[in-house]
């Protein structure tokens, strides 16, 4: 009797064990799929990020000095590295305290890493981000004040440390490598500035604020001098127009930033808008562009420099498209020529290495080239 009871207890137990473990396993998900979608990418912790940041940036005087501009695995960045040394760009980004987390943070994580120096300009000093507070308030009517003060600030603090000075908004995406390609054809001693050229109100045109614009060192010098001599003043809060009027007054040329087949590089909107080709006929844009507007694929150069109204996720998307995603082995239709470096009257920057190939080329070319700045206007 007892033996029978024990045996059936055993069988019942066996059944119970099998079933319960089966249920347990199927809950846990004996999924063979665990391996098939690749390893979970290791999420970077904040500590790792801070450590990496300190290797890549030197925070000094409220600016970020780029120690180690990004290189992509498997790429040959020789040309880009050469331009990085030769064409030093200081990027200052117009932002505000309420936009640091929403917008400026993403600029910091993406395109600004390719500038030689980055300064985030705000109304408030923030040593952590870092941002520079320039004694202004926030708001659209403060835009030109911020701009004036920002350019004065970078001239004073960093005038010797860069050749070109770019202004961008915190919703502008800039491809600094392509900016260098354009600027390399010009000397920082030329009084010239580049951006998306608009035609109304100013005879030589002026540059769209949102699409970003870049001043040569000489242009910046003249801008600051213009204010000290009262040739330029705070005429209006329409920052880009007022800027353009001052530039014309102090003899700084409005340059042509288009590529070698006349396609625009600085863009006042997101790529979707330019590529889709659907601006309504009554849109202001049609009357503003200095050069003929092209809609559809030829709107934009392969070597685009900027886009505007770019929100956070689009910043990462553009970074992915520009620096990461590609078609393997694809032979691009547009083969941009190497920039031809003009004779440079300025002293060689400290950070250029001895025996630098480019420097030798510049020395050789000194004898041949003696072009005036005006002739250098177009690429």
Partner 1 sequence: MMSEGCSFMKGMFLGGIFCLVMSLFGTFSPGPQGDGHLHHHLKPVSKDELQKLSEAQMYDLTQQVRVYCVIMVTPKLLVYWATANDTWSKHCDKSVFYTSESSKALEALDLQEDDEWARLRKAITHAYENAGDLRWFFVARPTTFAIIENLKYLVLEKDPSQPFYIGRTEKSGELEYVEYDGGIVLSYEAMKRLVEIFKDEEKCPARGHALWKMSEEKQLATCLKYSGVFAENGEDAQGKSLFNKKSVTSMISDSMGKNPNDVVESCCSDLAITFGGMPAGQMQVMMYGVYRLRPYGHDFHDSLTFLPPKDSDND
The footprint of partner 1 on residues 294-353 (CB under 8 A) is 296-298, 300, 302-304, 312-313, 316-334, 336
Q: What is the dihedral of CA 136, 284, 310, 322, to 10 degrees?
A: -130
- Distance of closest approach, residue 26 Cβ to partner 1, in angstroms: 9
What DSSP state is assigned to residue 320? I
In DSSP terms, which residues pair with 308 in a beta bridge? 172
| Helical (H) or strand (E) element with 119 | strand 117-122
Looking up tokens 């690429």, which residue turns up? 379
DSSP states of 199-247 as a string? -SSSTT-EE-STT-EEEEHHHHHHHHHHHHTTSS----S-HHHHHHHHH
- Distance of closest approach, residue 353 Cβ to partner 1, in angstroms: 18
Number of residues that bind partner 1 (CB under 8 A): 87
The token duo for 69 is 């501009």
- Distance of closest approach, residue 127 Cβ to partner 1, in angstroms: 21
Closest to partner 1 by CB, 11 vs 284, is 11
- Distance of closest approach, residue 376 Cβ to partner 1, in angstroms: 19
Name which of residues 39 to 98 contact partner 1 (CB under 8 A): 39, 41, 43-46, 48-49, 72, 74-83
User: Could you tell me which stretch among 8-16, 125-133, 205-213, 351-359 binds partner 1 (CB under 8 A)?
Assistant: 8-16
- Distance of closest approach, residue 106 Cβ to partner 1, in angstroms: 8
Sign of CA pseudo-dihedral 239, 240, 241, 243: positive
- Distance of closest approach, residue 216 Cβ to partner 1, in angstroms: 19
Cα separation, 243 vs 18, whole angstroms = 79
Closest to partner 1 by CB, 227 vs 279, is 279
- Distance of closest approach, residue 178 Cβ to partner 1, in angstroms: 5
Of 236, 246, 248, which Cα lies nearest the Cα of 143?
236
Closest to partner 1 by CB, 87 vs 143, is 87
Residue 180 near partner 1 by CB under 8 A: yes
- Distance of closest approach, residue 59 Cβ to partner 1, in angstroms: 17
Residue 9 near partner 1 by CB under 8 A: yes
- Give the x/- contact pattern for partner 1 in 160-179, rule: CB under 8 A: ---------------x-xx-
Residue 22 near partner 1 by CB under 8 A: yes
Name which of residues 198 to 217 contact partner 1 (CB under 8 A): none
Cβ neighbour number for residue 175 with a 10 Å cutoff: 20
What DSSP state is assigned to residue 43? P
Name which of residues 263 to 292 contact partner 1 (CB under 8 A): 271-272, 275-276
The token duo for 179 is 């900016």
Closest to partner 1 by CB, 136 vs 257, is 257
Q: What is the dihedral of CA 242, 248, 252, 256, to 10 degrees?
A: 90
């Amino acid at each position: 009797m007892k033996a029978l009871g024990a045996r059936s207890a055993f069988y019942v137990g066996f059944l119970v064990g099998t079933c319960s473990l089966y249920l347990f396993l199927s809950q846990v998900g004996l999924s063979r799929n665990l391996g098939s979608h690749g390893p979970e990418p290791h999420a970077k912790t904040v500590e790792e990020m801070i450590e990496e940041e300190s290797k890549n940036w030197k925070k000094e005087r409220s600016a970020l000095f780029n120690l180690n501009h990004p290189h992509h695995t498997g790429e040959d960045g020789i040309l880009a590295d050469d331009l990085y040394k030769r064409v030093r760009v200081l990027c200052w980004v117009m932002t505000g305290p309420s936009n640091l987390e929403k917008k400026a943070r993403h600029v910091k994580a993406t395109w600004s890493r390719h500038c030689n120096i980055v300064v985030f300009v705000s109304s408030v000093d923030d040593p952590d981000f870092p941002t520079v507070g320039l004694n202004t308030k926030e708001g659209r009517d403060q835009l030109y004040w911020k701009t004036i003060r920002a350019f004065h600030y970078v001239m004073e603090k960093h005038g010797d440390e860069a050749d070109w000075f770019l202004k961008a908004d915190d919703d502008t995406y800039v491809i600094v490598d392509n900016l260098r390609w354009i600027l390399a054809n010009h000397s920082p001693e030329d009084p010239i500035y580049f951006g998306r050229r608009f035609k109304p109100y100013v005879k030589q045109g002026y540059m769209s604020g949102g699409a970003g614009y870049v001043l040569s060192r000489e242009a910046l010098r003249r801008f600051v001098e213009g204010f000290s001599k009262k040739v330029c003043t705070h005429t209006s809060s329409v920052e880009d127009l007022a800027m353009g009027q001052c530039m014309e007054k102090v003899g700084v040329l409005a340059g042509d930033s288009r590529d070698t087949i006349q396609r625009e590089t600085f863009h006042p909107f997101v790529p979707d808008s330019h590529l889709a080709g659907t601006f309504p006929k009554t849109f202001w844009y049609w009357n503003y562009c200095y050069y003929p507007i092209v809609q559809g694929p030829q709107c934009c150069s392969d070597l685009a420099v900027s886009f505007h109204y770019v929100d956070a996720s689009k910043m990462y998307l553009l970074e992915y498209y520009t620096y990461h995603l590609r078609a393997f082995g694809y032979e691009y239709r547009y083969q941009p020529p190497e920039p031809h470096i003009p004779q440079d009257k300025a002293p060689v920057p400290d950070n250029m290495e001895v025996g630098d190939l480019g420097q030798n080329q510049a020395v050789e070319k000194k004898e041949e080239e003696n072009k005036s700045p005006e002739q250098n206007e177009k690429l």
